[in-house]
Amino acid sequence: MRRYSRITGTGSYLPPRRLSNADLVAELAVSGVETSDDWIVERTGIRARHFAAVDVVCSDLATAAAKNALQAAGVDARDIDLIIVATSTPDMVFPSTACIVQHKLGAPGGAAFDVQAVCSGFVYALTIADAMIQTGAANKALVIGSEIFSRILDFKDRTTCVLFGDGAGAVVLEASKTPGILASDLHADGKHVGILCVPGHVSGGHITGDPLLKMDGQAVFKLAVGVLEDAARATLEKAGKTQADIDWLIPHQANIRIMQSTAKKLKLSMDKVIVTVDQHGNTSAASIPLALDAGVRAGKVKPGQLLMLEGVGGGFTWGAVLLNL
Ligand code: ACO
């Protein structure tokens, strides 16, 4: 009999330090960086973000989100045989954050590795976990997106530092006789590396190059809207569904205008889009599972509904996963 994978629990975690736009505007003003609540809200829809404390690392956020997801699924950590963490802000150069999370959870023995696809990381990781469950390589997986982007922001660059936040989201994905994940569609185009990157690296015990985030916002914006529509349509076609079948669009939370444009192109009302960018900012690979968990816990996203998850980000990478919850 064919094996499928299905999400059986969701969880998330936000570090307690919350900065409203007014808080951030005041902090930036101290170092002479001018911005305003009006500009941030009008251009992005962001009203607040969370920043992790200095002694907190990516695996701490990931572990907290994973515990919430395990509890929601009623699954014991010791039964997990696959952990994938999507992140661009890992604890260390190596080993993977997933191995550290595995140890913190007390879930030894299964496979554990990180996926690096920036803001598309969660849809990449979910697609890999689905494939491993379908082939029998895994039975119960934790798929986590976790980021501390505050560590790689240039707080002198107002065009980027107002956009991002820290957080983590997770799902438990289990083998199932009935399909949860129906189709996915992943892509990358490396010729756009330069429009969104953190170009520095560690070499000879030093950082070589610039270790802070660089982005050509307008180039990213234009590419994002087109590829998100294409990925959604390709995924629907693979699954034999149409956009009218979608109960919830849960896109990467980068900018409300990108979400509005994508919804419009797919002829979906914004009432069918889960929006958390206003409260979380852009949390990169964490944004989709954070939004999914927020939707589930608000009682909006329910079992049996058809969800379209979509990511887009540095690489340039993009992709979509269509699933029945
Ligand atoms: N506060 C006040 N003014 C600002 C700020 C700020 N924080 N930032 C820029 N400005 C100014 C600019 O200097 C410019 O001024 P000028 O006209 O005098 O030169 C003006 O505002 C307009 O700047 P634009 O860059 O044209 O603003 P735009 O409307 O394009 O919005 C934004 C910028 C929000 C970055 C937008 O382009 C965007 O959202 N792009 C997509 C980003 C994204 O989705 N990233 C996702 C992937 S993230 C990942 O993968 C890690």
Q: Which atom of ligand 1 is nearest to the CA of 149?
A: 51
What is the 284 CA–ligand 1 centroid distance (Å)? 17
What pLDDT, in 10s, does the model give residues 107-161? 999 999 999 999 999 999 999 999 999 999 999 999 999 999 999 999 999 999 9
Claim: this prediction has a pTM higher than 0.75 = yes
Architecture of domain 182-324: 3-Layer(aba) Sandwich (3.40)
Mutate to test the pocket of ligand 1, among 34, 39, 120, 159 (most ligand atoms within 8 A of CB): 159
Q: Which residues of 176-209 are buried (b: 16+ CB within 10 A; e: fewer)?
A: beebbbbbbbbbeeeebeebbbbeeeeeeeeeee
Reference 146, options 22, 13, 251; nearest CA is 13
Contact between residue 34 and residue 205 where contact means Cβ atoms under 8 Å apart: no
In residues, how long is the chain? Answer: 325
pLDDT of residue 6: 98
CATH superfamily placement of domain 4-178: Thiolase/Chalcone synthase (3.40.47.10)
What pLDDT, in 10s, does the model give residues 304-320? 999 999 999 999 999 99
Mean pLDDT to the nearest integer, 210-237: 95
What pLDDT, in 10s, does the model give residues 55-93? 999 999 999 999 999 999 999 999 999 999 999 999 999
Q: Is 95 exposed, middle or buried (0-12, 13-18, 19+ CB in 10 A)?
A: middle
User: Does any ligand 1 atom lie closer than 6 A to the CB of residue 180?
Assistant: no
Q: State what percent of residues in the chain have pLDDT above 90.
A: 99
DSSP structure class, residue 260: H
CA dihedral 308, 91, 190, 203 (to 10 degrees): 180
Mean pLDDT of the chain: 97
Band of residue 1 on the pLDDT scale cut at 50, 70, 90: confident
Domain with CATH 3.40.47.10 in the chain: 4-178, 182-324
Please give the positions annotated as active site. 119, 252, 282
Contact between residue 165 and residue 283 where contact means Cβ atoms under 8 Å apart: yes
Interatomic CA distance for residues 224 and 314, integer angstroms: 10
Q: Which atom of ligand 1 is nearest to the CA of 162?
A: 7
